[in-house]
Amino acid sequence: MPYTARLIDDAAKERFDQFMARHAKGHVLQTWGWGELKSKTGWKPWRLVLEDRGEIVAAISILERKIPVVGIPIFYASRGPVLDWTDHELFDALLVEIKKLAKKRGAIFLKIDPDIPSADQDLEGYLKSRGFRSAETGKGFEGVQPKYVFRLDISPDEETLMAQMHQKTRYNVKLATKKGVAIRVGTKEDLPAFYRVLKETTERDKFLVRNYSYFEDMYDELHAAGMAELFIAEYEGQIIAGTLALIIGEKAWYLYGASSNSHRNVMPNYLIQWEMIRWAKAKGCTLYDFRGVPGHLTEDNPLYGLYRFKKGFNGEYTEFVGEWDLVYRPVVYFLWNTLEPVYSDLVKGMIGKLRRRNKG
């Protein structure tokens, strides 16, 4: 079947996002607004669609970034492309158009990390048959986007969802309410306070966080489009926790969470998650994604507490197919794979030294 392919511009952004919202595999990281957000951090977005008789049937938001020093670009489609993954003819047609763009831009490779469970062996076989190669790193949460997540079907009523939680989680939700923790939807004026609490969290749990302007840009781009919401937990007039959620169509994602070192005993994180779930249900969502957890954890792992917290809401532990690269320039790709880990470790080492120096 012949399809019409085209790169779209700002005039078609609403139509593009409408497709993302209604498609079963639509994802907020493939929306127009997410591409705009990433454009402020050094990426260049390209939005490519395939149409059949004027209707979009496949779409991909590609982020292009040039490798430092050498200036050669790479392509990345976070949680994309969005199409019927079982329709190989459609996917083949999209890959042809992506390759044309890659050749024009001189891209080394296209990286994808589809929102598809690892149990889908047919997809893995298809990707390999089209030249994709697995690009698993085993670092952090096992990828640019988390490979392992907890996802909760929130189509049941609230009473059922509460009853299905683990007993301790349900107890902590009720405890926070009893202690007087109040959850409200935040505004842009709450962002500085949220970021202060987020910095407390990162210093306590020893992980890096983006600068404040990133969160301000995210709020401006995605909240205005109805795809982001800020939640604030208060206790005795003090902001003690906050979260950022993303939403599109019938799906919602818990993206960032922050909790103060003060009043952790009143369990604000449990109540704020419950209120986010209730908010997502009220918006018509049927899926709530708690986002990343490390894979294959044991109880002695320092991140086991995060795993246990998310597991307590009775979500389904889901492993995705992971990262796959489609290589257009094999020699340069080999050099990239050889040198990129060295570069990344060097940058992380420099950041670590700066943090230690600042503390000193």
Q: What is the CATH number of the domain that holds 129?
A: 3.40.630.30
Tell whether 310 is covered by a domain. Answer: no
- For position 56, what pLDDT does the model report? 98
Query: Does residue 24 or residue 350 have the better pLDDT?
Result: 24
Average pLDDT, the chain: 91
Q: Do both 128 and 159 map to the same domain?
A: no
Query: What is the C-alpha separation between 17 and 222, in angstroms, rounded?
Result: 12
Tell whether 8 is covered by a domain. Answer: yes
- For position 139, what pLDDT does the model report? 53
The CA-CA-CA angle for residues 50, 146, 263, to 5°, reads 130
Q: Do both 212 and 246 map to the same domain?
A: yes
> Whose CA is closest to 34, among 289, 301, 222, 234?
222
- For position 144, what pLDDT does the model report? 81
Which domain does 170 fall in, by range? 155-285
What integer is the mean pLDDT of 199-216?
89
Tell whether 255 is covered by a domain. Answer: yes
Amino acid in the structure at residue 61:
S
What integer is the mean pLDDT of 133-154?
80
Query: Phi then psi for 200, rounded to 5 degrees?
Result: -60, -45
Q: Do both 346 and 234 map to the same domain?
A: no
Boundary residue ending a domain (258, 285, 312): 285
What's the pLDDT tens digit per position in 308-330?
Answer: 999 999 999 999 999 999 999 99
- For position 255, what pLDDT does the model report? 96
Least confident segment among 56-65, 107-116, 137-146, 253-262: 137-146
* Residue 98, pLDDT above cutoff 50: yes
Q: What is the pTM of this model?
A: 0.90
Query: What is the C-alpha separation between 72 and 106, in angstroms, rounded?
Result: 7
Q: Are 313 and 273 in contact (CB under 8 A)?
A: yes
Which contacts of 99-103 are long-range, i.e. CB under 8 A and separated by 24 or more positions? 99/328, 101/7, 101/46, 101/48, 101/62, 102/75, 102/328, 103/328
Boundary residue ending a domain (285, 310, 335): 285
Query: Does residue 12 or residue 341 have the better pLDDT?
Result: 12
What integer is the mean pLDDT of 270-299?
92
- For position 87, what pLDDT does the model report? 96
Q: Do both 168 and 234 map to the same domain?
A: yes
Per-residue tokens: 231 = 């939640």
What integer is the mean pLDDT of 164-177?
97
The proportion of the chain whose per-residue pLDDT surpasses 90, expressed as a percent, equals: 78
Q: Do both 26 and 75 map to the same domain?
A: yes
What integer is the mean pLDDT of 230-238?
96
- For position 70, what pLDDT does the model report? 79
Q: Do both 253 and 338 map to the same domain?
A: no
What's the pLDDT tens digit per position in 326-358?
Answer: 999 999 998 888 876 655 555 455 445 544 555
Tell whether 134 is covered by a domain. Answer: yes
> Whose CA is closest to 313, among 201, 192, 150, 126?
150
What integer is the mean pLDDT of 11-33?
97
Q: Do both 162 and 266 map to the same domain?
A: yes
What integer is the mean pLDDT of 162-170?
97
Q: Do both 325 and 264 map to the same domain?
A: no
The proportion of the chain whose per-residue pLDDT surpasses 70, expressed as a percent, equals: 91
Q: Do both 56 and 139 map to the same domain?
A: yes
Tell whether 306 is covered by a domain. Answer: no
Q: 4 forms bridges with which residues in the sheet? A: 51
- For position 140, what pLDDT does the model report? 46
Tell whether 303 is covered by a domain. Answer: no
- For position 353, what pLDDT does the model report? 54
What's the pLDDT tens digit per position in 101-112?
Answer: 999 999 999 999
- For position 346, what pLDDT does the model report? 52
pLDDT band at 141 (very low <50, low <70, confident <90, very high): very low
pLDDT band at 37 (very low <50, low <70, confident <90, very high): very high
Query: Does residue 358 or residue 144 have the better pLDDT?
Result: 144
pLDDT band at 232 (very low <50, low <70, confident <90, very high): very high
Total domains in the chain come to: 2
Tell whether 116 is covered by a domain. Answer: yes
Least confident segment among 69-73, 181-185, 205-209, 256-260: 205-209
